[in-house]
Every structure is written in structure tokens, then in C-alpha cells.
Structure 1
Amino acid sequence: MATPPQYESFAAVTMLVLGLLVLLARASAAMFDDPDGGDDRDRSPDRDGEPRPETPATGAARIERRAGASDGWNDPPGVTVEDDPAKSARARDEDTPGDGPWGPNGAEVDARRSPAADALSTGALLANVAVSQGFFGVVVIGAAWFASIPPADLGVAVGDPWSVGPPALAAGAAVGVALYVANELSASVLDSTGVDYSESLRAHLAPETLRGWAVLLGVVLPIIAGFEELLFRAALVGAFAAGFGVSPWALAIASSVAFAVGHGAQGPGGVAVTGVLGFALAAAFVLTGSLLVVVVAHYLINALEFVIHEGLGVEWA
């Protein structure tokens, strides 16, 4: 005789994982805060319409855009830092690979990177994210197994191609590209209004070598997408709706708020955009009933952001 699902036990573990994730998010937000307390992209003018005075951080960003640092992914044309007269004597003294404000290969460190988080290397940050979220994911999966939660409640209907087959993959790809475009447009609108939308975390996680990009795209981002969709959509929406008879749309709203809070490191604008994005993913999960659809969509959103912004250096705004 099959063991009946223990939704209360599963809910307790899920909420514990969610609470720990929010605490880690708050710690990350403190680590990646812009030391100047402003928009790390710093594109908006002062209230009187005049451009903001150039600070060392914005000056570094300006030179970085002209310098075209080599990171193993692309080699944009432009003057080298050594040829730029704006580089000070102090900076030249500190110009060693992987050390000082100019970063590896004699190129300047992205001005979006915070000094506190620079204490950890990109590799260490990627490993930390992969291990922590991977561990939380294993805990949620283990809790679902011990609590006998039906896989279909989590959006995994074995044998249904629209849940775990090629049609689900295609639907996820379409949703992911559409949400990426919508996400970029929303960020551009917020940026034009001067609302803080921090890119510090993404800048810290961006690799400098092809091997690093392979790890990011092939390991870290799939783990992030898989765990966050398992927690925020499959568990908080699918399992809770099936187990407690709550409207999945009400749960979609609640989970989207939690999803936004868990991305506090992206600043107020990032939290707002992430909340809307989270609800869109939750809606896709409710409508399709497929965890695979939202995992693929989530992965594509993150991967496109990294490749287009950090890899190719393209900015929408």
C-alpha cells in the first residue's frame, strides 16, 4: 500500500530552506552593495539635468569601455590601458595580473564590482553558489521523496511529453527568450528613471576564461535554474496547491514576492523586476504544469544576460 503524501512535513522543510535562502540573500546583498550607495551603472544625470561629476569608479568604467580588456571570450577593439593617459602612476605600480584595481591582463576591474566581494575570486563565488544552491536542491528533493510527494505535483509527469519531453523543452525556450527581452526592457525603463538596478553580483560571477564560461553555462546556471524553479515554482506553487487546496494563482503571487526578496543583491529596481519575472515564471508553471518548461526558461534568461552583457559587452540602455 502506497504511503500517503505528507504535505505538512514537506512544507516544513521547504519553508526552512526558503528562510535560509533569504538569510543568505541578505548577506549577499550586504556584500555586493555599491560602496558609493548609488546605481552602479551610474548613467542617469543629476536632477538639474547636468551629467553627474565623474568619480574614480565611473572614470574606471569609462576607460574600461574604451580599453577592451581580453577575457578569453571576446577581444573588442580599442586602446589598451597602457596607452591611456588617464591611468595614474599609482595604478601602474599596482598593475599585476589578478591584483590591484586594474585586474588581470593589465585591464581594469569592472567598476560594478564591490571591494568587499573582491575578497573572493570569481571561481570561489561560482563554487559557493553552485554548492549552496545544489545542497538546498538536494534537501528539497530528499524532502519530497521522504514525504512521498507525487512527482506530478512538482511538475514532473513522467510519460507526458508536454511535461518532460521535447515539446516542454521547446516551450521553455520560447518562454525564456520572451521573458529575457521583457526583463531587459524593464531594466532599461528603470535605469532611465534613475532607479537602482545593481549588476554587481553578475559582474562578480562573470568569468575571465573560456573554461570559466564553460563552468558557468554548463554547471552553475543549470544548478541555479533547477533549484530556484524547484523551490519557488514546483514546491511553493505546485505541491502546496495540491496538498493544501490553495489557489495556485495566490501561491504564484506569494512565491514571486519571496523570489524577489531572495534577489535583494540586485537593488530596489532588481527586486521589482525579479518579482515580476518570478510571477511570469509561476504563471508559466501553472498554465503548463511542467517544471521543465520553467527550468529551461529560467536558464535561458540567466545565460542570455551573462553572454550578452558580460561576454559580448552589449548594453540595451
Structure 2
Amino acid sequence: MLDTLMTISLLSLFMIPIGLIWLITSFVMKKRKAIPIILITAGMLFFLTGIISYNTWNKTQPVSEKTGNYTIYPIKISKVKINDNNWEIYGSTEAPNGSRVFATTFNSENYYYLKQLVDTDLYNVNVKNHKYKITINPIDATDDTSYNKTKKIPVYIVAIGNYDGNSKISSRTKKVIKKHFGPAKFHLTTSQIAYYNSLNDNDDSNSSSSATDSDSKLSEQSNSSSVDKDASSAFSKSVSALAKNIGNSNNLSISAKVSDNGASVVYYVPESASSMSKDDKSTLASDLIPRTDKLADMCSVDQPTDIYIQTADTYKTIAKTTLTGGTKVY
């Protein structure tokens, strides 16, 4: 819309001077003056139309919206880079310094529904000099189990004043954001697609290798057993990759072990993790446990009944899942 209004205004800037020159020439040459007068009039009409339309359009754009204790501001995205298979998003906003950038999904089936998608322990979400930079893991923003270039993933991104950057927003705040601030839509690059599909064991070479190994070891078992074996193997590999990635992000050496029946997963962390604050332990658990369940869904295996985070040497429990589906942090 804004581009159209600018084009109309620029067009008028060409038409008016051309019409004036033509009119002066017509006076000097004593030729008909109707065409240059029409050109000048049309140029002035275009100019006025552009100005009036722009002012009307500009007034309809949300500057900020208040809901409860929050003031919500729109953001502009100027650049998106890919860093470690994540979206690194740069942009600007009219929000004052200290406001927090909040990114979320409105898909109620997603674990991050109305929650902050940005890991605030790893990445800064503060607005500074009307600029911001945030990092989002695409796998957190969608419930897809396979990825391609054609699908665009919607993410609602706003800046919020008086917000701690981490709390789950209310349904009322959701309604305000959805009504006044549309979602940004992102797509995955070829390298991201390859990486995230590999977590689902969709890589052809890995699938062929797994199938060959299964055939040689389980030649007398049924095809369904081979498929189950492949799925379990894919889940185990994905869990190990998750442990490595989260470990790298937190400067921790994390390994993982999946039980033979897939009913339990144990993440092993260094002894130093036992001295972490409870908030840090909770953050580590939220990085590992929900994603473990999601990997199980992607690999078409049952979600593990028990997930533990323990120290590697003394087996001291840092966090674990509960029978009610929650997480207990020690």
C-alpha cells in the first residue's frame, strides 16, 4: 500500500514540471494550451490524492496498544539471517528502551502456545535505541514433522513494555496482538530443511543404511519389526543430537541414553550442573524435556514415560518428569 502511494506522489512530481514547461513553451510558440493544462491539473490531483491517502493510511497503522499493565508496540523486520539453523532476526520498533521483544505461536497444540519462543537465558530480547535482535529455533515454532520450502511458518512478534520477557501472556493479550499486529511468516532454507528433516531420519542415505543393518540383523523378523527398529534408532540419534545442541548452547557437555524399549531417556550433565540455580535447572529441563517428546512424535515412536537429567558421575538427579506429566526440578 505504502509503495503504491509513493508511486502516485512521485508520478505527480514528474507530471507537474513537464506540464509547466510545456505550457510556457505553448505561450511562447502560441500553440494550444489545453494539453499542458490537463497534464498540470492531473499532476496536482495525483499529488493531493497521494498526500491525503498516505495520511489516512498512516493513521490506521497501530502505534501501540494497551492491555492491562502492558503496552504493545509493532516491530519491523529488516533482516533475517540463518545462524546454527536458527532464525536470527534483526529489526526496529518505536518501543522505548528496556521494552522486551516477544515472539510466540498462536497454535494451541504447540508447547510454546502464548509462551516466549526466544530462549531468554541465551539471547537478549531488550529493545535498545529502537533496535532489536532475537533468535528463534524454527522447530519450536511449528508442530510439523517434515519440512519444505513452500510452507511458511507464522510467528507473532511484538515489543512489550513492562514485560519480563518470559511470562506466558494472557488470552486477553493474545486477542489484542492478533487483532492489531499480524504474524510474520518465515520459510526454511535448504540447509535448515535438510537439518530438521534429518532429525526425523528422512535422509535417504541414513534410511538405506539403517534398513540394510536391520535386514542383516533381523532377517527372520517381520517388516513391521524392522520399521520399529528403524524408528527407535532414529529417535535415539535425534535425542543424542538434541543433547549435543543444547549442550553447546549452554556450554555444557551433555550426552543422552535411551533405554532399549524407549520408555526412558536419561540426559547426563557434568557434576557442575548440580550447583546451578533452580531457575537455570528449570530452563535446562524446559530445553530438553518438551523437545524429547516432540522428537518421539517426529520419529513415530511412543513418548518416553520417564525423562531424567542426571549428573554423569554421581547420578544426582537435576530434573525429571512426573507421573502427572509435569517436570520436577531439584
Q: Where on the TM-score scale, by shorter chain, does this alignment land: which range?
A: under 0.3
**Higher relative contact order, chain-length normalized (CA < 8 Å, sep 6+):** 1
More strand as a share of residues: 2
